[in-house]
Every structure is written in C-alpha cells, then in structure tokens.
C-alpha cells in the first residue's frame, strides 16, 4: 500500500476533519477568540490529525506486509485464514470470522475431495492388480491352443493389458511421488522391455524394429519410461503405413540423452500436431481408424513432466512421425 492509496482511501475522513476544524475556528472567531490563539489551536489540531493518520497508515502497512509474508510462506493457500492473527475492532473481527468460516468450509470440501480421490485411486490400483490374475491365467491357458488361435488370443489379451496398464498409470499420475523411483538404467533394457510388452501387437502389425546405439544409461524410473515408450510403440504400430519400420536410436548430449522413436507411418497433419498431447484428443487419424482413446500421449506428457523428461514430436503426413524422449542428466535430477 502506498501513501497515495492510503490518502485516497481516507479522503472523506480527512476532509471531514478539516471541515470540522475550519468550522470550530470560525465559531471561536465569531465569539471573540483572539486570532493568535486560534492559529495555535489550528496548528495543534492539524498536527494531531497528521500524527493520527500517519500512525494509521504505518499500522495498516505493517499488517498488510505481515499478511503478505504469511501468504508467501504458505504451502496450501486455502489455509490462510487459519494462520493469521485476529484483527482488532468488532467490525473487523466479525468480517474476519466470516472469512475464516468460509475458508473452513472450503478446507473440509477440499479434504473430502482428496479423500475420495485417494480412495478411488486405491480402488483402481487394487482392481488393476486383481484383474491381472485372470489375465495371467488366460495367458497360461492360451498356451494349450494351436498356433493361430493362440496368437490371436494372445494379441487380444495384450490389448486388454495395454488398456489396464493405461488405467493404472492414469490413476498414479495424480500422485506420482509415491511410485517414482529414479535410478540408473540401461536404455537398452527399457527398450527391450517396452518392445516385449507390446510384442503381440507389433508382430501382428508386421512391424520391423531397428535399434541403433542404445548402449547408454539414463536416470529415470524404469516402469514409467517403459510405459511411455510403450505408448509410442503402440501408436507407431496402430498408425502404420506399408512396410512399417520403427527405428529406435539414442543420442548422447552433454546434459541429456535422447531416445528417438521414428516410424514411417501415416503421420499427423501439421495443424493437429500441437494438440496431440491434449487429453482425449484423437485427431483425424484416430477418428478414421477408430479405437483411439486420446489418452496415450496425454499420459506420456503428464508422466514425462514428473520425470523431468523432455518430449518432442515431429511429423509429416504420409512420411512418418518422430518422437524424441529427452532424458535429463543425473546432476539435474538431484534437485528433484
């Protein structure tokens, strides 16, 4: 609060004080008080007004600064009213009470919402773990079937798994600190794990994969990185062209390691490219082919954010798409 703001706020009161002083001086003059006495009286009055107003100004300014500091220091801003001392004066105290009541109602609404979100997340995780038992059993049973049916069923099971996996990671993405485990991992391991996870889909799509120079280590959470890469592989297989080829190559820079996932698929129209990471965005390719959820890349970006993983996409319609995963150097991760 500046002095000017304070003055413009107080304008009415100051004017009233001045008018009162003027009127009483006029009255005293009319009733025969000496001019010298009047001047002294007026100067005295003005001095008192000045001091009172200045004191008010400094008091208000200190209070506001104090409140501002508390606000800055607060982790959860909605608890502000709980952390502030009560003001003086009945009117202010009443106002303050009202604010405090409002924010308490808010706090309980927030914690209810958090609790139900946590319960929901726990249920989804539980559900995901439970559904895995029958899927495992189905996989084992599949083994007894003849080649063609086994492959088809295995591919369908793999699809179910991919959907289940997405649900799990979607539930986890809201509170990632709980599951994130940053570690030194061979890039090759991440790549072969992701390929293994989606191998049915990839083989059935007739995809050929070439890997180049993947013998480096990165610092990241293995499961999340495998998941992200898995989404990219699924997309590459789903939006493939003729003679589909996916190239996975690594590039080591001073402070980053890049993993470039390049395909020769149908590509993404330029005007849709900025939106592919949006939640639920399916684009023209997704609409034409069907079965697109618009969740894969959205989750990738969300999870990548927590891993401090850069994610970049480039595409040309009819030629293919290249997604670059930029793994940060260890040094930067220690800040996490």
Partner 1 sequence: MQKIMIIEDDPVVREELVLLLENEGYMPLSVTDFDGVLKQAARECPDLVLLDIGLPGRDGFSLCAALRKAAPAPVIFVTSRDDGVDEVRALSLGGDDYITKPYSVPVLLARIKAVLRRSSCKPEPADLLEAGELRLSLTKGMASSGGKAVELSRNELQILACLMTHAGQIVSRADLIDALWDNQIYIDDNTLSVNMTRLRGKLEEIGLPDAIRTRRGMGYQL
Q: Which residues bind partner 1 (CB under 8 A)?
A: 128-130, 132-137, 139-141, 143-144, 147, 151, 154, 157, 161, 179-181, 183, 192, 195-196, 199, 202-203, 206-211, 221-223, 243-244
Buried b (16+ CB within 10 A) or exposed e, 283-300: bebbeeeeebebbbbbbb
Q: Which is nearer to partner 1, 35 or 133 (CB)?
A: 133
Q: Cβ 185 to partner 1, closest distance in Å?
A: 11
Q: Which residues contact 195 (CB under 8 A, 6 or more apart)?
A: 202, 209, 233
Q: Which is nearer to partner 1, 174 or 196 (CB)?
A: 196
Q: Which is nearer to partner 1, 179 or 272 (CB)?
A: 179
Q: Cβ 275 to partner 1, closest distance in Å?
A: 31
Sign of CA dihedral 228, 234, 238, 240: positive
Q: Cβ 140 to partner 1, closest distance in Å?
A: 3
CB 317 within 8 A of CB 270: yes
**Residue 155: φ, ψ to 5°:** -65, -40
Q: Which is nearer to partner 1, 181 or 253 (CB)?
A: 181
Sign of CA dihedral 20, 26, 28, 34: positive
CB 79 within 8 A of CB 71: no
Q: Which is nearer to partner 1, 218 or 276 (CB)?
A: 218
Q: Which is nearer to partner 1, 154 or 292 (CB)?
A: 154
Longest dimension (CA), the chain: 123
Q: Which is nearer to partner 1, 173 or 180 (CB)?
A: 180
**Cα distance from N-terminal residue to C-terminal residue, the chain:** 37
The sheet with strand 256-263 has its strands ordered as 208-212, 245-252, 256-263, 320-328, 310-316
Sign of CA dihedral 172, 173, 175, 180: positive
CB 219 within 8 A of CB 182: yes
Q: Cβ 249 to partner 1, closest distance in Å?
A: 14
Q: Cβ 217 to partner 1, closest distance in Å?
A: 17
Q: Cβ 285 to partner 1, closest distance in Å?
A: 22
DSSP for 274-327, written as a single string: GGTTSTT--HHHHHHH----S-HHHHHHHHHHHTT-EEEEEEETTTEEEEEEEE
Q: Which is nearer to partner 1, 75 or 146 (CB)?
A: 146
Q: Cβ 213 to partner 1, closest distance in Å?
A: 14
Q: Which is nearer to partner 1, 131 or 314 (CB)?
A: 131
Q: Which residues contact 26 (CB under 8 A, 6 or more apart)?
A: none
76: closest CA among 111, 100, 113? 111
Q: What is the phi-psi region of residue 184: left when phi exceeds 0, alpha when psi lies from -120 to 50, beta otherwise?
A: beta
């Amino acid at each position: 609060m500046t002095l000017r703001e304070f003055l413009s706020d107080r304008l009415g009161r100051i004017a009233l004080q001045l008018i009162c002083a003027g009127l009483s001086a006029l009255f005293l003059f009319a009733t025969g008080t000496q001019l010298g006495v009047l001047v002294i009286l007026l100067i005295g009055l003005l001095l008192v007004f000045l001091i009172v107003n200045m004191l008010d100004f400094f008091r208000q300014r200190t209070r506001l600064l104090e409140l501002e500091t508390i606000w800055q220091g607060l982790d959860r801003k909605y608890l502000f009213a709980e952390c502030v001392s009560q003001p003086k004066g009945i009117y202010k105290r009443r106002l303050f009470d009202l604010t405090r009541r409002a924010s308490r109602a808010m706090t309980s609404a927030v914690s209810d919402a958090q609790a139900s979100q946590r319960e929901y997340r726990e249920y989804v995780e539980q559900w995901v773990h439970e559904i895995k038992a029958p899927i495992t059993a189905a996989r084992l049973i599949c083994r007894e079937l003849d080649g063609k049916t086994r492959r088809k069923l295995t591919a369908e099971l793999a699809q179910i798994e991919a959907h289940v996996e997405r649900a799990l990671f979607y539930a986890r993405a809201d509170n990632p600190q709980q599951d994130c485990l940053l570690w030194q991992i061979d890039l090759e391991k991440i790549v072969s794990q992701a390929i293994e996870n989606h191998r049915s889909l990839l083989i059935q799509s007739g995809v050929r994969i070439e890997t180049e120079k993947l013998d480096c280590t990165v610092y990241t959470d293995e499961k999340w990185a495998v998941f992200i890469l898995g989404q990219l592989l699924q997309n590459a297989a789903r939006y493939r062209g003729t003679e589909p080829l996916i190239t996975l190559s690594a590039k080591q820079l001073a402070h980053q390691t890049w993993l470039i996932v390049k395909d020769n698929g149908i590509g993404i129209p330029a005007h849709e490219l900025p939106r592919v990471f949006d939640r639920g965005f399916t684009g023209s390719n997704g609409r034409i082919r069907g079965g697109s959820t618009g969740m894969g890349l959205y989750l990738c970006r969300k999870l990548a954010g927590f891993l401090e993983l850069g994610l970049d996409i480039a595409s040309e319609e009819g030629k293919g798409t290249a997604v670059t995963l930029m793994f940060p150097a260890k040094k930067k991760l220690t800040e996490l």
